[in-house]
């Protein structure tokens, strides 16, 4: 029932954001809480940053992520070999395809050269300017590019540890792993 009341207003706000190419400043402020993963606690690398953004921004990010993902798939931008964070793809299907290819190569007397890469902190390393250039290269329309630029610029974060909150700091690269578009951005950035 609440969704029926709220949805028309949110639709108007989201449509205005896309039409004007402005992602509201208030939606760009995140609160980061480090969550402990494994020992030792004294090593900062053993904490995973969890970014909390305003709920309305989270809803909107999910919508634009779905639209970007649909665009990427419709236009076949990603190679079929890329399995990370894609519907109907998994590590299992990737390994089955790879081992099938390797077996065929061996049967044909060929040698397989294989490189495995684990991109640690991949979400944290997405450079905003490079991401925008990649979106341009993928023929994203100008209105969407303007919106993405607004979305990626002037982001800020505060870090909360226990009851202490840091001062606000600018975010110049990376996307929160919890953000709606993080996985699609990561796939496009590779």
Query: What is the pLDDT of the chain when averaged over all its residues?
Result: 85
**What would the DSSP string read from start to end of 3-65?**
HHHHHHHHHHHHHHHHHHT---GGGGEEEEEEEE-SS-TT-GGGEEEEEE--HHHHHHHHHHH
Please check whether residue 176 is in contact with residue 53, taking contact to mean a CB–CB distance below 8 angstroms: yes
Query: Which tens digits make up the pLDDT trace of 41-87?
Result: 889 888 888 888 888 988 888 888 888 888 888 998 877 777 666 67
Grade residue 15 by pLDDT with cuts at 50, 70 and 90.
very high
Please check whether residue 27 is in contact with residue 53, taking contact to mean a CB–CB distance below 8 angstroms: yes
Compute the distance between CA of residue 82 and CA of residue 122 in angstroms, rounded to an integer: 15
Compute the distance between CA of residue 137 and CA of residue 8 in angstroms, rounded to an integer: 34
Average pLDDT over residues 98-112: 94
Lowest mean pLDDT of 2-6, 94-98, 117-121, name the range. 117-121
175 pLDDT more than 60: yes
Compute the distance between CA of residue 18 and CA of residue 151 in angstroms, rounded to an integer: 10
Dihedral-angle region of residue 109 (phi above 0 means left; psi in -120 to 50 means alpha; beta otherwise): left
Domain residues of the chain, as ranges? Answer: 1-22+78-188
Please give the span between the terminal C-alpha atoms of the chain, in angstroms, as a whole number: 41
Compute the distance between CA of residue 52 and CA of residue 58 in angstroms, rounded to an integer: 9
Query: Which tens digits make up the pLDDT trace of 123-148?
Result: 777 888 888 898 899 888 999 999 98
β pairing state of 47-52 and 29-36: antiparallel
Q: How many CB atoms lie within 10 A of CB 61?
A: 21
Radius of gyration of the chain (CA): 20
């Amino acid at each position: 029932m609440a969704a029926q009341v709220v949805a028309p207003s949110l639709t108007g706000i989201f449509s205005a954001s896309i039409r004007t190419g402005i992602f509201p400043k208030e939606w760009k402020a995140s609160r980061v809480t480090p969550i402990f993963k494994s020992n030792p606690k004294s090593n900062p690398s053993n904490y995973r940053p969890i970014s909390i953004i305003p709920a309305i921004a989270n809803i909107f990010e999910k919508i634009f992520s779905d639209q970007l993902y649909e665009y990427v798939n419709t236009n076949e931008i990603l190679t079929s070999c890329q399995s990370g964070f894609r519907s109907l793809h998994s590590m299992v299907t990737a390994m089955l395809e790879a081992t099938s290819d390797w077996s065929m190569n061996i049967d044909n007397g060929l040698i397989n050269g294989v490189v495995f890469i684990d991109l640690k902190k991949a979400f944290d390393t997405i450079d905003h300017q490079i991401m925008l250039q990649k979106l341009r290269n993928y023929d994203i329309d100008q209105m969407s590019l303007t919106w993405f630029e607004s979305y990626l610029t002037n982001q800020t974060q505060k870090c909360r540890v226990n009851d202490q909150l840091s001062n606000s700091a600018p975010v110049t690269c990376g996307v929160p792993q919890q953000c709606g578009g993080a996985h699609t951005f990561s796939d496009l950035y590779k």
